[in-house]
Structure 1
Amino acid sequence: MFHTCEISTCNCIALITCICCKKSLCREHFVEHDYLLRPKLNNLTKQINKLFDQFESFDMKTVMSDSLKKLDEWRLDAYQVIDKFYENKCTELNYYINNILNKYEKDINDLQLKIEKMIYIQQTTNHNIELLTKNIQTLQEQINQIKYISIQVDIRPLVIIDKLIDVNFITDLSKLSTPYQTIQRIPLSSNAMASNNQYLLIHQNWKLYLIDENLFIIRQNHWFYDQIQDMCWSTILNCFLIITLHDIYQVEINTLLVKQINTTEKNVWQSCTCSDTSLYLSNESIIEFNLKPSIQYVKSYKRNETIDHKQRIDSIEYNNGKLILAINDQSKQEIFIELRLITTFDCLWLCQLNIEYSERKIQCCLYNYDTWLIADWGSLSLIYLTKDGKIKNTIEYQDEIHYIHQFGSNKLVISTDHSIHFHKL
């Protein structure tokens, strides 16, 4: 049975069926139909060529630069650890040898003094001569044995396990996994947290706790001071820094001993962060302190010299020569995020958050080396910002969020009203 062409104005017999759209067409209309598809193919060709050019232009060195920098820093730190260990063992060896030499030197000096005294007083006996002679001979025999001392140094190969460094490819954050661990928060404990990638410092029930990724308590110590506002880690000092409303404290990692830092600057502190050389504190402006040789005031950075309304810098975070600021504008009742250069304090970008205004603090957290997570205290969501200050998405959460902190490369710690949740990324 013959079918006519499916073009409504055509009565010709259909000779060909298009395998793409299943239309039965006459020869003339099939040719037209084929020509209609070709521009679409040409369009797709342009798109794939453009995509290929984009792919070819990717500079993977730029993508890997932060990770390579961290690996280089780890290598330098490892060299320093090995050099320090080597120096300690050399000191231990020298100490052992010097103890032997010092003993014989003392014995020689004692005999010299005895002989000099006898010569001075011109009084001795044959018994004294024999005794001194015997002592000298014994000492001579002992000193002759020094060159035969055998020093045994047992050296085991330095074993570096592959898991010492984890390389994880972190994709865009769209949804958090279920917490793999949870700690119950004690009421009146501080929300603030800080880490050095190996250990996490938290405050619970008027105590400081240093814990590892498995939540094992490494050490703890009492906190006898005011309510903690924020805390951060200083690599150059190898310690944690804690701020209260008016004071700064240094916490040694090996003991958790707390030492107050005396400064001439007395302000109401909101947040803290460290670069390689400086400590930065926030209130209505940013205050910079040197870390070495001692913590001393350097200068203040004001966001706007002509500002005539009240603003509070709730949170600051350092990354790669830049500071991110979470700003609560109490006059205009607006919340926005800024990224500024450390060297000039120039603003690189500003992102206004379209969230319901409140007096609660806003906190920012570095995520995946160059992007940012923003927590609105008391809300049920996180805001995910790209490195150029664009809102990528909003992540819903199960509880009211009070503080967020990325622990290592693959863990996100979130403090809520009653719990501290540990998420794997």
Structure 2
Amino acid sequence: MSQSCSIEKCSRTSRWLCDCCEQYLCLQHLNEHNVSLISQLNPLTDEINALGDRLETLSIHDAIANCRQKLEDWREDCHQKIDCLFEQKCQELDQLVNEIVGPHREELNQINLKITEFIDAQETTRQDIELLRSTIRQLERNMNNIEEACFTINTRPLVTDDTLISIEKVTEHELDLSTLSPVYKTIHRPQGSFRPFTCNDEYLLIHQEPNLCLYDRKMNIVEQTLWPCGAIQDMCWSSTLEKFIVLGKNNIFLVDEHTMSIDNVYTIKERQWLSCTCSDTVLFACTNGRASSIMEFTLFPAIELIREWKHPLTCSKDEFIVSTVYNNGNLALMIVNVLNKSLRLELKYAKTFDSVWLFQFNINWVQKLAFRCCSLPGNEWLVVDYESGRLIQISRDGKVKKTIQYHPTPCRAMLFDTNILAISTTDEINLHTIH
């Protein structure tokens, strides 16, 4: 028995069973169905053409600019280290020459003075002359020995291989703020403790009045030292120096993670510091007050000022920068306007201070405290909103990705290890896991 067409209101006899939709179709509806399927190929062709055009215009240089810059920074750093070693060895050579030649030069001067005395006095003896001749002959033999021996410089070739630089494709796992766990560890801080804290791959550096304390991953104190240097404005870690950088009101200190020694390496006059951050090669330190400047320092071989970035490149004359965070070639700046009490996050290229994007928050600056942010994997950012008691996750393109309430009121945040988020409140630091 013949099968009717499956299309509603069609009484024709089916001619074909369509494999894709499993319907019995008459000749007319079979043709219409085929035309419909063919027509869906045209938009796909358009999409493929658009992707092809995009591939042709894609700037590979822009995509790998940060990676190339890291290679360039590494090369410059190696050159600086070689130059520093060269200067050190030149100084050692000069010192060695002076140690050998200096006594003979002094002896020559003494002989010359003695001869001058005899000539001025117009009186001498044969014994004096013979003694002078003997001394001169001995000095001459000593100089011959010096010239013959000279100096020996032993050098070894600078060994380089592919293991010095590794290039790998890395896919960063973006964190989801909604996965923030309950507090699993709390570090209490006594009254008078300064709120800034920072970390490296192994340790968390915290001020607990009256000490600077170094905590390990299990939150045990491994080192501590008395902090006698006044208020702490901010902290960061330098992987290049393998030391913590602590910002006082007017001074920059280096703290050794092994000995906890404290060295004052730079002092600013007339102005004060507020925040700091560093890349592999430079330190960025921001001044406190309207029309904030960002001072850029070399890290190696010494902390030395390179340049000062001023307004309006940094911010306007009625704004000041309350937080600076470096990540992957960019600087994230938390900027407050003192006239309209507004707050924005602006991402700038660290090399030129050109703006990448900015995000204007719907937050009023009332409590006159510094808003802080930290970097997250995938070039994302976490902003601490103490005014509303919130944590705000900002995507890599400058949009709000996630917002959660946090109690007690958060002041600062820092990603410790790959999935541990440390959040500072007024009296304590809470540790959470985040995925």
- Normalising by structure 1, we get a TM-score of 0.69
Q: 2:299 corresponds to which residue?
A: none
Question: Deviations 1:393-421 (Å, cap 9, x if unpaired)?
Answer: 4589999854335799x898634455576
What CA distance in whole angstroms lies between the structure 1 residues aligned with 2:74 and 2:218? 22
Cα offset for 1:23?
Answer: 2.1
Q: Residues of 1 paired with 2:165 and 2:408: CA distance?
A: 34
Counterpart-to-counterpart distance in 2, 1:215 and 1:75: 37
Show the 5 A alignment for 1:341-352. 351-352=359-360
Shift of residue 2 of structure 1? 4.6
Amino acid at match of 2:205: I
Q: Partner residue of 1:204?
A: 207
In structure 2, relative to structure 1, the CA distance for the partners of 1:106 and 1:214 (3 Å cut) is farther
Measure the CA separation in 2 of the matches of 1:183 and 1:78. 41
State the 1:249 CA deviation: 2.1
Which residue number corresponds to residue 301 of structure 2?
none
Cα distance in structure 1, aligned partners of 2:287 and 2:305: 18
TM alignment of 1:2-13, pairs within 5 A: 2-13=2-13
Q: Secondary structure at the match of 1:325?
A: strand
User: Per-residue CA shift, 1:351-374, capped at 9, x if unaligned?
Assistant: 344689995753223557965332
Check if 1:385 corresponds to 2:390. Answer: no
Aligned equivalent of 1:229, options 225, 230, 233 = 233
Runs of 5+ unmatched residues, structure 1: 306-310
Paired residue type of 1:287: S
SS at match of 1:89: helix
2:430 and 2:71 map into 1 onto residues whose CA distance is 30
C-alpha contact (below 8 Å) 1:380/1:399 kept by paired residues: no
Is the 2:410–2:424 Cα contact (8 Å) retained in structure 1? Answer: yes
**Separation of aligned partners in 1, 2:432 and 2:153:** 44
State how far apart, in whole Å, the 2-side matches of 1:130 and 1:256 are: 62
Any idea what SS the aligned residue of 2:64 has? helix
Pick closer, same or farther for the CA change 1:346–1:157 going to 2, 3 Å. Answer: closer
Contact 2:420 2:432 in 1 (8 A): yes
Please give the secondary structure, in 1, of the residue aligned with 2:287: strand
Corresponding position: 1:55 with 2:55: yes
- Output the CA distance in 2 between the equivalents of 1:109 and 1:413: 71
SS at match of 1:21: coil
After superposing the two structures, state which structure 1 stretch, 170-179 or 98-107, moved more.
170-179
Alignment match, 1:248: 250
Matched residue, 1:192:
196
Counting matched residue pairs gives 406
Correspondence for 1:280: 286
**What is the rounded CA distance, in whole Å, between the counterparts of 1:110 and 1:312 in structure 2?**
67
Q: Provide the identity percentage.
A: 26
Cα pair distance change 1:232/1:130, threshold 3 Å: same
Per-residue deviation, 1:33: 0.8
The Cα shift of 1:85 comes to 0.9
**Deviation string for 1:192-215 (max 9, x for gaps)?**
2468x9998833333446899999
Give the drift of 1:76: 1.8
Q: Indicate the larger mover: 83-92 or 25-34.
A: 25-34
Q: What is the CA–CA distance in structure 2 between the aligned matches of 1:368 and 1:318, rounded to whole Å?
A: 13
Change (3 A) 1:380 1:89: same
Contact 1:314 1:325 in 2 (8 A): yes
Deviation per residue, 1:242-279 (Å, 9 max, x gap)? 14xxx32221467522478464357xx86456897984
1:89 deviation in Å? 0.5
Distance 1:216 1:114 in 2: 73
CA deviation vs aligned residue, 1:333-388 (integer Å, no higher than 9, x gap): x765456899xx9998653446899957532235579653322359574412334x
Q: Aligned in 2, Cα 1:356/1:229: closer, same or farther, shift over 3 Å?
A: same
How far the C-alpha of 1:3 sits from its partner, in A, is 3.2
Paired position in structure 1 for 2:35? 35
Please state how far the C-alpha of 1:322 moved relative to its aligned partner. 6.9
Q: Distance in 1 between matches of 2:170 and 2:310?
A: 39
Distance 1:75 1:156 in 2: 20
Tell me how far apart the structure 2 counterparts of residues 88 and 198 of structure 1 sit (CA, whole Å): 32
Alignment of 1:402-421 (within 5 A): 402-405=411-414, 414-416=422-424, 419=429
Q: How far apart are residue 35 of structure 1 and its match?
A: 0.8
- TM-align CA RMSD: 5.5
For the structure 1 residues 48 and 401, does the alpha-carbon distance in structure 2 shift closer, same or farther, using more than 3 Å as the test?
A: farther
1:122 aligns with 2:123: yes
**Tell me, which stretches of 5 or more residues in structure 2 are unaligned?**
297-303
Do the aligned partners of residues 44 and 6 (structure 1) sit closer, same or farther apart at CA in structure 2, a change above 3 Å counting?
Answer: same
CA separation in 2, counterparts of 1:23 and 1:364?
59
Partners of 1:412 and 1:422 within 8 A in 2: yes
Q: Distance in 2 between matches of 1:212 and 1:87?
A: 39
Q: Which residue of 2 aligns with 1:324?
A: 333
Matched, 1:374 2:383: yes
* 8 Å CA contact retained: 1:401, 1:414: no
The corresponding residue for 1:22 is: 22
Could you say which residue in structure 2 is the equivalent of 1:173?
Answer: 174
After superposition, what is the alpha-carbon deviation per residue over 1:150-208, rounded to whole angstroms, capped at 9, x for unaligned? 533332333457366776635472338999xx99745144442468x999883333344
Cα distance, 1:422 vs structure 2: 10
1:3-152 pair list within 5 angstroms: 3-118=3-118, 120=121, 122-124=123-125, 126=127, 131-149=131-149, 151-152=151-152
Q: TM-score, normalised by structure 2?
A: 0.68
Of 399-408 and 129-138, deviating more is 399-408
CA distance in 2, matches of 1:295, 1:44: 53
Give the conservation status (yes or no) of the 8 Å contact 1:406–1:412: yes
Q: 1:21: Cα distance to partner?
A: 1.9
| Distance across 2 between alignment mates of 1:167 and 1:423 | 27
Distance 1:158 1:214 in 2: 41
